[in-house]
Amino acid sequence: MKKIRNINRYTFLLAVGVSLASCKKDFQEVNTDPIGVNAVSADKLLAPALTNVLNANVIRNRNFNNELMQVTVDLGEAEGRIFRYDVRRNFADYTWNTWFVELTNFRDINTIASQEGSVNTSYQAISKIAEAWTFQLLTDTYGDVPYTQANQGKAGILEPVYDKQKDIYLSLLTKLEEANTLLTAGQAIVPSSDPVYQGDVTKWRRLGNSLYLRLLLRIAGKADVNAQVVAKMKEMIDTNPSKYPIMENNTHTAKILWNGTNSSTALYSSPYMISVRAVDFRGPGISEFFMNNLSTWADPRINQAYGRNNVNRWGIAPGPGGYVGVPSGYPIGGSPVKQAYFYSEGQSGSPLSLQTDPYTGIIMNVAEVDFILAEAASRGWINGTGEAYYYKGVADAINYWIPSLFTNGNDAAVRSYALAGDFDWDNTFPLDNATVGSSSKLQLIHLQKYYAMFLVDFQQWFEYRRTGHPFLPKGSGLTNGGRMPARLNYPTVSISTNATNYKNVVASQGPDDINTLVWWQRP
Amino acid sequence: MNQTFTRLGVMLRHALHSKRKDATQHLKKLRTSKFIYTAILCCKVLVFGVLIQGISAQQLLAQTTQNVSLKGTVVDDADGRGIPGITISDSNRKVYGTTNENGAFSVTVPKGTVLNFSMIGYTTIVRTINESQTGLNIRIKESSSSLNEVVITTALGIKRSERALGYATTTLDSNAFTDAVASNWTDALSGKVAGLNLVRNGGPAGSNKIILRGENNLTGDNEALIVIDGVVASSSARRTSATGGGAYGTSGDIMPADFGSALNDLNPDDIESVTTLKGPAASALYGQRGANGAIVITTKSANKNRKRLGITFTSNTSWEEVGRGPDIQQEYGAGLDGVAYFSHNASADGASTRSTSASWGPSFAAGGMFFQYDPATKTQGTMRTPWVAYANPIDGFFKTGIETSNSVSLDGTVKNVGLRFSASHGNNEWIVPNTGLERTSVSLSANAKLTKKLNLVLKAAYNNRHSDNLPATGYGNQSLMYWFMFAQPNVNIDWYRDYWVPGQEQRKFVDITTSNPESPYAISYEYINAQRRNGVLGSLQATYNFTKELSLMVRSSIDYNHDTRETRRPYDASGLRYTQGSFREQNINSYEINADFLLRYNKSLTKDLQLTATAGGSQMRNRYHKAELRADGLAVPGIYRLDNNLNPLISVPDTARYNINSFYGVASLAYKNYLYLDLTARQDWNSTLASPLRTDNVGFFYPSASLSFIASDFWKLPKQISYLKLRGSIAQVGSGATTPYLTAYNYILAANGIYPGPAMTNPSVLPNLNLKPLSTITYEVGAELRLFKSRLNFDFAAYTGSTKNQILSRVIDRSSGYNIAVFNAGRVDNKGLEMSVNATLLQSKSFKWTMNGTFTANRNKVKELADSAVVLRSGPLSTSGGQIMAVVGGSLGDIYGFGLQRSPDGQIVFDATTGLARENASDLKYFGNAMPKFRFSFGTAVTVDKFTASVLFDAQFGGVGHSLTFTRMASLGKLKLTLPGRYNGLIGEGVVQNADGSYSPNTTVATDIEGYYDSLYGSRQLEGSIFRTDYLKFREANISYAFSKRLVSSLGLSKMTLGVYGRNLFIWSPWPAFDPEFGTLAGSDIVQGFETGQLPSTRTYGVRLVVGIN
């Protein structure tokens, strides 16, 4: 009897033991997400990350840069009136949030492409180029930003420290140098992973070096780095150009071509279709500054002959007064009548509209490189007078929209167009003259560069902050004391979620408002 | 030490139980002069005294001279059923035994003893015993006391005598849900249970989140567990479609609609009782999901004693209308900057002024004539027409909703099988045109005693819910309330009825004002959120009684739901995404399967000490699978089919699954029916804590202990005290939460897989590879006191506890590379008080007046955090800096944001040039907590003959919330508040800052009146739109009439009652929008703090008829 009881006892214990062991059975499998994956190859991360950054750039170019830089005037009643320099705090959030989150993907591409077994030097280089592109946008927009410790949430760093803008710049220059070297190997990448050049890594090398020039020029005015910057430019352009291929024509221009349809959900739908209502797209008037120059020049880009169905290439609709704009910064309460505006999708007659145009997703174009070189040459940092680069820039800028209108910068048609518009190159002009309305080489270059960088993220604003060109008329309705905002404030969420580092950066950089100068703006 | 206790115990025994005269006198003295002192002393020595007393009772027994034995049954006088748990004691409260589950008893007592057969809820029977007897049949009557909740269903379906519980519970019977029927029966919990809080989302299918004892957890799981007849029904709580965008839907994505949880589908007529197990001690046995308390619902089953078939028919009809709303101005029409004219499109009067949502335009009183919208031509009228205000959107658009429901139930016993069957059908046409839902449910309950030892219980319910359209909630182009905020007083709402541009039907909408807010009729008839849901809830339970002492229960249950949801968006859908329309179809399969067993062992250890030991285990599987196909962009407008897609279909799958395995045990010791000790232990293993790499911390163990002491049975208390119970408990509960896949880093498909590859992206939510289970420890004490023959009753509970390692998600700076991080929060302490009282003030044969009330207070404090501050949620307007932030020393639910600039003495600082208020957008300011500090309720009922009338009020105080509805409407000049100063300007009350930094009174006239109100109430700061969420609600009113028996039986019926009722009749509150009791949909959750375009809450009136056909 006792034996039986013992057996029972053992059976019971065994049963308990077995059931305890099975208490965690399948748990690992059950708690593994069947949809997500724990490892990916580098090519998988590239296309959406590039597209998302570009989407944000395109959107904010439209409703921030273009308002500040007098491309458009939003006559509606939208929150804040950017064209009056009235910038609400939350304007800072969108770009900060998008850029940083995508940088996680960009940096991850380098990590994956450096791992044993999946090494790919081209993806490493592209990662660095994309990182330089995005971090330059970040630091030029906000000033000091987290860099070294940024994007390391996975490693437990939830409150990264802010790096100084100078340090960020110097590090980005190094990354671009590395990228140029890495791309000499020319290792193949998956074409469909690359919406910019469809796998042509030689063009990525040109983009990397062209960005290199953009970065160098932006900080060239700082005495502490000027010598270093100038030497590098000279090496790239004059002494060792074969080592540093750059963009030379519009086939090198970095862009993502949108699908050209009015779909908002398909692959590579235009951000204007995804995020802007048609009625909003046609809402803002074009400003007097932007429109009237084009009219005066009889610019091919507003010539109906070069567009489609009697609509010019930029899809600009004439106002009641024709191709004229409205003054920006008009007095409060004195709403002017909207004149010219950008056609939108869905208007009667289906006019050509930038809202669906495939060509609006520009990362960097060749014309900008031309004008960078025109300025460098004018300043005597590289060989030449600037004239050739200047006309090449004018031609490349127009050719982007109207291919082959001009053969090249030496085309006589370019010169006559500039002469007729009274913006022909004049070597007798001084390099610079800060007096509003005066002539200078920089004013010439930057007025054309302004049109060349139409739609390109915040580049017009950055360059205006750096050079003060082109001269923008100032209306009486401006707020902020009529001062062009020098930066965007940090997002509100940073104040509370990264409090210590936020306090530190405010202490070192200055108050967190739109008038605090970033490092390269300071004398 | 031991000796001291023994002596104390002996003293106590002598003092209280000696038969000697002097001792009795001594006791009297004690009662009169030292009662309180003794009570305290007794509490201190309670445990020991009781033990000692047990021994001494046996000694006393041995001293008696002649004993007689007595055997018999105690039965209910009404139905002859045996009653378990009847206490058999003598006049000195010496307990001789209790009746068993069949009502049988067997006791041996001294000859001549006067025996009391008593139990709460029954009239005590007194018998003098002079000789041994067998087969004694004692019929006992239910007492008229309203407190009949003697046996209640506790965790795991274990039925317990209420007196044995050492923790707080509240049981509501079916009347609580059927007297004043709510569209969602859980609404009826409001004001009836101390410590219970509902977070509501509006709409016809609006679901509620039930929170017990305050929220000590904000972003994690904080809902009470819902158990229907032993079936955990929480898996079906995923209530929203969350098909695209959020409640702040200005991105243009599809906005969420509340599709309701399956819990809403329960037919209130099927509810027998609802027991609320508030604290962790009560729900510890439910394991981790009981950490936030539990709502245990028992549905009706066959009435065992009915010999014939019983049929009950109920019919209910109710009407609802908007209860209260913002204070809308009707004096000025559309226009910006105080413009003096109006023109729909450009006209002879000037440029078009229609494209604005603001109402700073011309005054109606001035009686102007303008070129306005002509509904006949759908464009500018050819003539100037009078400038008048039309009905405001509350009166003009919302209609009276109507809800009808009918149900029938049959029950009876056939041989050994008790059966109850019920069917119900309900139809709701909501206050928004073309919205509402239809519900059908069928339920079956069967109870069979197969053999003497084997009992089977089957419960099954099938629910079908069908809706052609449910309103999207939130703030965004596709939402109705967005239009509501923007509606112009100069626009006749009827103009919106014909919303297509002529000749462009299904392609283009007319824009009467701006193109932003869509016509509310277009939203109702073209922006469709449809649903078909079929749900089955079933359980099968078998109990086998091996011996009288040992029984085994095995049970298996399932809660299964299949939900098909469709969203349709027309061409030209307002918002930017769907210019070519959209059709999305979701197929959701979710289920939860539970299998558990309980082994019960019941034994009298000694004559006075009863042990019930229960051991059990369970396995739970929860699965959720959603397949969503999207045709964003339709080839042919107005055809909503997946094969009408313009672009490739997008597939958006979603899944969640988790398992919990558990073992648990309870030991219940009952000593002489006045002292009860419960010890529980449970071990859970939760798969959500496992990662692909490890399973080492998936298990957690937690114990609880609770003690109940019926002081009124231990001491002979003054006769005014009918019942006094003291209780206390300590419980620890763990939880691994129910959100899976938080422990591994996973790349996710980028943009729903539209990129070739398909391309992937890093997650935006940072997982936690070392996620730990949370642990809560709670201490609770309570008392239940009934006075004057149970006519005045109090229940009191106080608790304090602390939660460690809450699993929360926090908003992080994007420079970390991620949006949100999952983390274990440090420590949050929570404490509170609950009190309820009910009283029968007057009672006679045909008249009864009762009152009841509850009071609840709850506080929590953040004690430890990984970082100094953690942002738990961001508000919808980032300009205002609004966020819910946890800081050490603060509470969960603290709202922060930007404030107005204020002088040192607290006055608003205005700009000396513009006269506008200045915001301080660099420092985050604390504005209060989203959770109210106090709640209370008050109700009274009067019965006169066949009439019963009752009312219920409830209130909350001490919380704040941010109102998006208010801030938008104030900035746009929609509210009466914005009337002063138009045209002439206004001087804001406050100060200006002088050049030297000092302050002087503001004298600047703000001429930009639009800017002025925007600076005070707009979105640049949070302060202007923070309001207290205090309210007093007239929650329920009910009048019912029970037809006389004679009339009823002459009609061949057994009973008939007719009632009229009202719900949410009035709300008194400073809240500026609809209802201070709001919740906002966020994913599958409903959250507090930031009101984001709430739907109106409604006032309901109804009629109810109940007919019983024997």
Of A96, A104, A498, the CB nearest to B762: A104
Cβ pair A30:B687 closer than 8 A: yes
> What pLDDT sits at residue B142?
65
Tell me if B91 sits within 8 A of B118, measured CB to CB.
no
Q: Give B-chain residues touching A150 at CB under 8 angstroms.
A: 815-817
The one-letter code for the residue type at B439 is R
> If you measure CA to CA, which chain B residue comes closest to A44?
B759
Cβ pair B685:A23 closer than 8 A: yes
* Residue B284 bridge partners (DSSP): none
Tell me if B249 sits within 8 A of B477, measured CB to CB.
yes
Cβ pair A266:B648 closer than 8 A: yes
The span from the CA of A355 to the CA of A346, in Å, is 10
pLDDT tens-place string over residues A382-438? 998 899 999 999 999 999 999 989 998 899 999 999 999 999 999 999 999 999 999
Mean pLDDT across chain A, nearest whole number? 92
Tell me if B295 sits within 8 A of B276, measured CB to CB.
yes
Q: Give B-chain residues touching A90 at CB under 8 angstroms.
A: 877-879
The span from the CA of B305 to the CA of B37, in Å, is 49
Cis peptide leading into B758, omega within 30 of 0? yes
The span from the CA of B1068 to the CA of B1076, in Å, is 10
**DSSP per-residue string spanning B859-922:** EEEEEE-SSSEEEEEE-S-GGGT-EEEEETTS-TTEEEEEEE-B-TTSPBEEPTTT-PBPEEEE
Q: Give A-chain residues touching B659 at CB under 8 angstroms.
A: 26-27, 30
Counted across chains A and B, CB pairs separated by less than 8 A come out at 277
Tell me if B140 sits within 8 A of B76, measured CB to CB.
yes
How many helices and strands in chain A, by DSSP H and E?
A: 19, 8
Q: Does the CB of B741 have a partner CB in chain A at under 8 Å?
A: yes
Tell me if B778 sits within 8 A of B216, measured CB to CB.
no
Q: Kindly list the averaged pLDDT for each block of 10 residues, start to end, along chain B of length 1110.
A: 43 44 46 42 37 40 65 78 78 76 83 79 76 82 49 73 82 80 80 81 76 68 80 59 61 76 79 85 76 84 70 91 92 85 88 85 90 92 93 91 92 83 92 92 90 90 91 84 92 93 90 83 92 90 90 90 91 74 91 89 87 90 90 91 89 88 90 88 89 82 90 86 91 82 90 88 91 88 90 92 86 92 88 92 89 92 82 80 88 91 94 90 89 92 91 94 94 93 89 92 90 90 94 93 86 86 93 88 77 89 86
**How far separated are the first and last CA of chain B, in Å rounded?**
66
> What pLDDT sits at residue B37?
44
Q: Which of residues 946-1005 of B touch A (CB under 8 A)?
A: none
Q: Give A-chain residues touching B685 at CB under 8 angstroms.
A: 23-24, 27
> What pLDDT sits at residue B164?
82
pLDDT tens-place string over residues B737-774? 778 888 899 999 888 888 998 899 999 999 998 888 88
> What pLDDT sits at residue A331?
82
Cβ pair A79:B1019 closer than 8 A: yes
pLDDT tens-place string over residues B494-528? 999 999 999 989 988 888 887 778 899 999 999 99
Closest to B191 in 3D by CA, of B205, B169, B176, B174: B176
Q: Give A-chain residues touching B357 at CB under 8 angstroms.
A: 77
Of A152, A275, A346, the CB nearest to B579: A346
The span from the CA of A445 to the CA of A441, in Å, is 6
The CA-based dihedral angle spanning residues B728, B731, B737, B742, taken in that order and rounded to the nearest 10 degrees: 140
Q: Give A-chain residues touching B356 at CB under 8 angstroms.
A: 77
3-state helix, strand, coil in chain A (%, to 5): 55, 5, 40
Mean pLDDT to the nearest integer, A260-288? 88
> What pLDDT sits at residue A180?
97
Whether the per-residue pLDDT at A2 is higher than 70: the answer is: no
3-class state of residue B443 by DSSP: strand
Q: Does the CB of A18 have a partner CB in chain B at under 8 Å?
A: no
Cβ pair A36:B746 closer than 8 A: yes
Q: Give B-chain residues touching A159 at CB under 8 angstroms.
A: 813, 816, 867
The one-letter code for the residue type at B480 is L
User: Which of A58-67, A256-265, B509-518, B653-662 is most confident?
Assistant: A58-67
- Give the sign of the dihedral formed by CA B1013, CA B1014, CA B1017, CA B1023: negative
Q: Give B-chain residues touching A500 at CB under 8 angstroms.
A: 868
Residue B289: phi and psi, rounded to 5, are -80, -5
pLDDT tens-place string over residues B816-859? 999 999 888 888 898 999 999 999 999 888 899 999 999 999 99
Chain B closest CA to A451's CA: distance in Å?
A: 28
Residues 6+ apart with CB under 8 A from A344: A278, A279, A281, A282, A353, A355
**DSSP per-residue string spanning A148-204:** SSTT-GGGT-SSPPEEPHHHHHHHHHHHHHHHHHHGGG-----GGG-TTTTT-HHHH
Q: Which of residues 693-722 of B touch A (CB under 8 A)?
A: 693-695, 698-699
The CA-based dihedral angle spanning residues B514, B516, B521, B527, taken in that order and rounded to the nearest 10 degrees: 160
> What pLDDT sits at residue B808?
83
Of B764, B922, B1008, the CB nearest to A101: B764
> What pLDDT sits at residue B900?
94
> What pLDDT sits at residue B345?
85
Whether the per-residue pLDDT at A185 is higher than 80: the answer is: yes
Q: Give B-chain residues touching A97 at CB under 8 angstroms.
A: 814, 819
Cβ pair A48:B764 closer than 8 A: no
Mutation site, B815, B816, B964, interface A, largest A CB count within 10 A: B815
ipTM: 0.91
**In this structure, what DSSP letter does residue B694 have?**
B
Q: Which of residues 268-307 of A touch B (CB under 8 A)?
A: 273-280
**In this structure, what DSSP letter does residue A61 have?**
I
Chain B closest CA to A71's CA: distance in Å?
A: 22
